[in-house]
Each structure stands twice: as C-alpha cells, then as structure tokens.
Structure 1
Amino acid sequence: MAACVAVIAKENYPLFIKTIPTDNELKFFYTVHTSLDVVEEKISSVGKNANDLRELYLGLLYPTEDYKVYGYVTNTKVKFVIVVDSTNASLRDNEIRTMFKKLHNAYVDMLCNPFYKPGENITSRGFENVVLAMLQQD
C-alpha cells in the first residue's frame, strides 16, 4: 500500500525512514525531505487562527508523477509522512487516515518504552513491524 513511511522530529531531522526495496531508495529520502516545506506551510496557515482546533491529518501534501505524498503532525510537532504509489487509484482518503492512526498509535506505544529517549532514532521492533505491515499491504 505505502511505498515509504517516515517519522520526522520537530526539528526536521529523520527519526525513522523505511521504504519498499527498490533500486532508487534515495528518491524517497528526497521526496520526504522536500515534503517538509509543505508541512510547515500547512501548519503555519492553521496556526494563525488560535480558535481553530488543529487537525492532525494534513492530507495530500503534493503529488509527483509516480507517487502521492501525505502528511500528519502530532501535537508535539513530530511529523509522519507516507508516500503512496500514484497508480493505486483505489486508495481512499479514509484509508490513508487509518494508516496514520495506526502509525501514531505505534509511535505512542514506542514512546512509552522507558528505555527510549525522545529525539533518538527509532529502533523499536514493534514499531518497525507496524511500518512493514503498511509497506506490504499490496
């Protein structure tokens, strides 16, 4: 279902990036990095009105020729980015939201580990298994 899943710290450095096995994995790293500008724009445009409740799901950040990039931001400003193949037309917005909720729940479970220090790279097997399930749902 997903081609790439990334977790980005609030300071915009990657905590976790996993891609489908491909010859050009660097392309996904670049795609995730360039999506951060769009995420910042969407966050800042919502933050102007203090009465608005901030929506965690940012929706489609931008489409490329081969992929669509979706974003999600937690209340602590940790960003989740999921890159999906553009040819998968059957994928609905509702399914993307479900993927982000699963990812967020796995992230929260991983944060509850007393041996994890926030801001370090994510090495949790449980978290990685959730991400691998998202990448293999084709």
Structure 2
Amino acid sequence: QKQSPNLPASVEGFAKKVKPLYRLTEREIAAYAVINHIDYVVEECPMAKGAKMLVYKDVLNRLEVESPGTKQRFYWGFLEKQTNNVLSANSTMSDIDQSTLHPCTTCGQPTTAGTCSYCRLMARAKTSSL
C-alpha cells in the first residue's frame, strides 16, 4: 500500500501523500524538470552503491530497450494488484507501527525514535561541517 499514488494520512500528524507524476517514466520527469526550469539530481545516491535496487533498475531498463512498454506494464500491473489487495485502503501502517509513533523532540513530526531520521541527519551534517 505504501507505493500507492494516493496515500491517506494514516496516522495523526502525517500529511496525505499524493504522487501526481506516478505514471511518468524517470526520463519524462527529467524532461518535465528541464522544461519547467526545476533543478533535479542526476547522479545516483552515493549510499546506494551495491544496492540490489540498482541491479533491478538496470535489468528493467535493459528489458525496456528490448521490449518497449515493459516497465509501464509491470508498474501498472503492480498498482492493479495493490488495489485488489485485501487490506483496507486506509490501513497503510500496522497497529504496532501506529502505537510507537510520537513527535520528534526537534521538529515535532511523527517518528518511532526520539528524534526523527531527518533531524538526526541534519545534526550530523552540522557537526561534520564545523
């Protein structure tokens, strides 16, 4: 359910998430960004080095070259299976996950830790640049 193009606010404090460009390819989104003068990052995340996701992405890209439309059919089939899922459309997190959320001590956003990962990352960035 987390990959749905329209995610309801499942827990108090979380905003509803909408992915308006979900049907577009990475290349189409890059073209949209260029046409609309929106900066975007071209490089892969340096922390993703060796990640299986990059292997899967490469395999899908090679399949797309050999058989155009493969990635789109794969993704739309995935979304269709998501909508046919027996889980309720509003249950995007388990009860256990919901019960462990509380406000971040720094920014107030919902987190399972005392300080959310964004605030921890920002704190590390500030201390490493000193």
TM-score by length of 1: 0.26
TM-score by length of 2: 0.27
More strand by share: 1
Higher CA-based Rg: 2
More helix by share: 2
Higher relative contact order (CA 8 A, sep 6+): 1
